């Protein structure tokens, strides 16, 4: 059986600005509108469909990037003076991790979602 994640809904206080934040930061195409959603399309076919919500419960979203893409996105994180951490619990500020021979960093979205970029899936060795 081949099961693939197709999309997930991301609760936000302002779907347009939240979707634009993510698309710009990751270097993805501008969000598109589909029904009540602002849709950010990842290159592997999965979309993040942003919707307005009165309450936002933080979720974790991790994005696998090449080394070159990591440099570009991490550069934008630093240019925007966003806080970042090497760990999901925010105990190692202003650091990146090098787990499994790759690089990873955590940062928060304007809505408080826990975002992560990494170059190697955790547990892949290295």
d(CA 69, CA 48): 19
Query: Is-contact 84 93, C-beta < 8 A?
Result: yes
Pick the CATH number of 1-53 from 3.40.1370.10, 3.20.20.80, 3.40.50.300, 3.30.720.120: 3.30.720.120
Pick the CATH number of 58-126 from 1.10.357.10, 3.10.180.10, 3.30.460.10, 3.40.50.20: 3.10.180.10
pLDDT tens digits for range 28-61: 999 999 999 999 999 999 999 999 999 999 999 9
pLDDT tens digits for range 68-107: 999 999 999 999 999 999 999 999 999 999 999 999 999 9
- Chain centre distance of CA 98: 18
Mean of pLDDT values over 106-115:
97
Q: Kindly state the tokens that stand for 125.
A: 């060795």
pLDDT over 90, % of the chain:
94
Mean of pLDDT values over 3-19:
97
């Amino acid at each position: 059986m081949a099961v693939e994640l197709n999309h997930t809904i991301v609760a936000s206080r302002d779907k347009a600005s939240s979707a634009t934040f993510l698309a710009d930061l990751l270097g993805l195409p501008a969000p598109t509108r589909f029904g009540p959603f602002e849709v950010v399309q990842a290159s592997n076919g999965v979309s993040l469909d942003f919707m307005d919500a009165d309450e936002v419960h933080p979720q974790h979203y991790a994005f696998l990037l090449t080394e070159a893409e990591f440099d570009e996105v991490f550069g934008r994180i630093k240019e925007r003076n966003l806080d970042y951490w090497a760990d999901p619990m925010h105990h190692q500020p202003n650091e990146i991790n090098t787990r499994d021979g790759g690089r990873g960093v955590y940062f928060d979205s304007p809505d408080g979602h826990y975002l992560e970029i990494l170059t190697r899936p955790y547990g892949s060795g290295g």
